């Protein structure tokens, strides 16, 4: 007889999996098109991605970091 205890779960010791975004979701978050992301991947990606089989995914934290990295601070007139 097996019970559902944490010790029975082979993945119990794994770190929490990151949220993965589809290219459509990532493009929407960046305000870009899916074609733009595809071109970026083929040109030597500036945005890291995950390939699982033929599927492409972007880690949500990477997309967030891209947005923050390209943030331009406002300049107050003097």
What is the predicted pLDDT for the residue at 3? 52
Exposed/middle/buried for residue 58 (C-beta within 10 Å: 0-12, 13-18, 19+): buried
Beta strands across the sheet bearing 50-52? 20-21, 55-59, 50-52
Mean pLDDT of 17-41: 95
Domains in the chain (CATH in brackets) are 18-69 (1.10.1660.10)
H-type helices in 1-78, by residue range?
23-30, 34-42, 60-69
Prediction pTM value? 0.72
Mean pLDDT of 13-33: 90
| DSSP at 25 | H
- For 30-67, the pLDDT digits (tens) are 999 999 999 999 998 899 999 999 999 999 999 999 99
């Amino acid at each position: 007889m097996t019970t559902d205890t944490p010790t029975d779960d082979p993945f119990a010791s794994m770190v929490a999996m990151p949220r993965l975004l589809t290219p459509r979701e990532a493009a929407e978050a960046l305000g870009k098109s899916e074609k733009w992301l595809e071109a970026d991947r083929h040109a030597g990606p500036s945005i890291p991605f995950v390939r699982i089989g033929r599927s492409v995914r972007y880690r949500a934290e990477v997309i967030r970091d891209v947005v923050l990295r390209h943030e331009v601070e406002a300049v107050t007139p003097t």
